Chains A and B, each alone.
Chain A
């Protein structure tokens, strides 16, 4: 699905305005533990997290994530937004909680990568 579909499924707000939402993504993962993300991730394109600090963006950068979505209405800092822009990572936020956000995307076809 396209990032624009992800955004509408989660009623999410695009934080990095101007980013291209036509990019296709096929898998996602959700976690607040960055080391777990680094341990088990393989080609996931979207990270859902409730954690807000620059290491979230760094983690996404290391594993070539396309998009980070902050759940529970969390907002990244200006520093994180700048870092994301440098790395070409799209940022969104949704008011949904982690469990629901993951469920919505799973139902819409975004799966964990085996």
Chain B
């Protein structure tokens, strides 16, 4: 296997306006690498929801996207409050986001379900008061 192509980003937790910036960059890079629109869309939506989550819940975090021979991996890591009940958090419609987040069109409890919906694999490693690491993979062949 050849060395994967990697992109690293810091997601600014203070600035909701810039949320999605990293996902936008990934989208452009994947387009240049020649992936199909469907693959690009799935990766971008999953990463975008993850970025929004990190801004809403964790005060920002880090993202790494790696392009392997047969899949694209997105790793999102934060030092936020962690997820107390993953099963509950995965339910569509469940959200702990504050009201002001709903006012900007998010916090509907669709973030994690959407991330799972658009990826082939998703694992969540989380510890309350420590942080969360989400690894998602989208197969490309």
Q: Is the CB of A62 within 8 A of B106?
A: no
Q: Is the CB of A38 within 8 A of B104?
A: no
Indicate which residue in B17, B23, B24, B108 contacts A35 across the interface (CB closer than 8 Å). B108
Q: Across the interface, which residues of B come within 8 angstroms of A79, CB to CB?
A: 17
User: Could you list some 20 contacts between A and B, CB below 8 A?
Assistant: A34-B105, A35-B49, A35-B106, A35-B107, A35-B111, A39-B92, A39-B113, A51-B105, A54-B17, A54-B20, A55-B16, A55-B20, A55-B105, A58-B19, A58-B23, A62-B20, A62-B24, A62-B45, A63-B41, A64-B37
Query: DSSP class of B's interface residues: helix, strand, loop or mixed?
Result: helix
Provide the residues of chain B in CB contact with A113, threshold 8 Å: none
B113 touches A58 (CB 8 A): no
Contact of A36 among B20, B52, B104, B110 (CB under 8 A): B110
- Chain B hits for A33, CB < 8 A: 105-106, 108, 110
B105 contacts A32, CB within 8 Å? yes
Minimum Cβ distance to chain B for residue A71 (Å): 14
Tally of A-B Cβ pairs under 8 angstroms: 71
At the interface, yes or no: A53 with Cβ under 8 Å from chain B?
yes
A36 to B108, CA, bound (A): 8
A25 in the interface (beta carbon within 8 A): no
Q: Mark B55-89, 1 if CB is under 8 A from A, else 0.
A: 00000000000000000000000000000000000
Set B16, B17, B105, B107: member contacting A59, Cβ < 8 A: B105
Do B48 and A39 touch across chains, with their CB atoms under 8 A apart?
no
Which residues of B, 86-114, contact A by the 8 Å Cβ criterion?
92, 104-111, 113-114
Q: How far is the CB of B42 from chain A (nearest CB, A)?
A: 10
**In the complex with contacts A53-B104, A56-B105, A38-B110 CB distance below 8 A:** yes
Asked whether any CB of chain B lies closer than 8 Å to the CB of A95, the reply is no
Known: A58-B19, A58-B20. 11 other contacts (CB 8 A): A33-B108, A35-B107, A35-B109, A39-B113, A53-B104, A55-B16, A58-B48, A62-B24, A62-B45, A62-B48, A64-B41
Contact with A along B1-40 (1 / 0, CB 8 A): 0000000000000001101100110010000000001000
Q: Is B44 located at the chain interface by the 8 A CB criterion?
A: yes
